[in-house]
Amino acid sequence: MQQTYEQLNGIKGHLNNVENINLEYQKKLFNQNELLIKEKKILEIFLQEIEESMLQMTEQYKELAEQTKERDRKIEHLNNLIKIKDEEIEQLKKEIEELQLNRIELNNIKLNNEQLNIDYENIKADRDGLQTQLNEFERIILQMTEQYKLLANQTYERDKKIEQLMLEIKTMESKIEEKTRAFEEEKLKVWWDKLLGN
- pLDDT tens-digit readout, 86-96: 888 788 888 87
| pLDDT band per the 50, 70, 90 thresholds, residue 6 | low
pLDDT tens-digit series, residues 37-69 = 888 888 777 777 766 766 676 666 676 567 778
pLDDT at residue 174 in the model: 83
pLDDT tens-digit series, residues 146-169 = 887 887 788 888 878 888 888 888
Distance CA 146, CA 120 (A): 39
Q: At what angle do helices 2-56 and 61-196 cross, to 10 degrees?
A: 160
Distance CA 25, CA 62 (A): 43
> Element (H or E) spanning 114, and its range?
helix 61-196
Q: What is the mean pLDDT of the chain?
A: 77
Cα atoms found within 13 Å of the Cα of residue 174, Cβ hemisphere only = 6
Query: What burial class does residue 187 get, using C-beta atoms within 10 Å of its C-beta: 0-12 exposed, 13-18 middle, 19+ buried?
Result: exposed
Segment 78-103 mean pLDDT: 82
Q: Tell whether the model's pLDDT for residue 1 goes beyond 60.
A: no
DSSP state of 60: G
Question: Which residues, other chains included, contact 64 with Cβ-Cβ below 8 Å and sequence gap of 6+?
Answer: 50, 53, 54
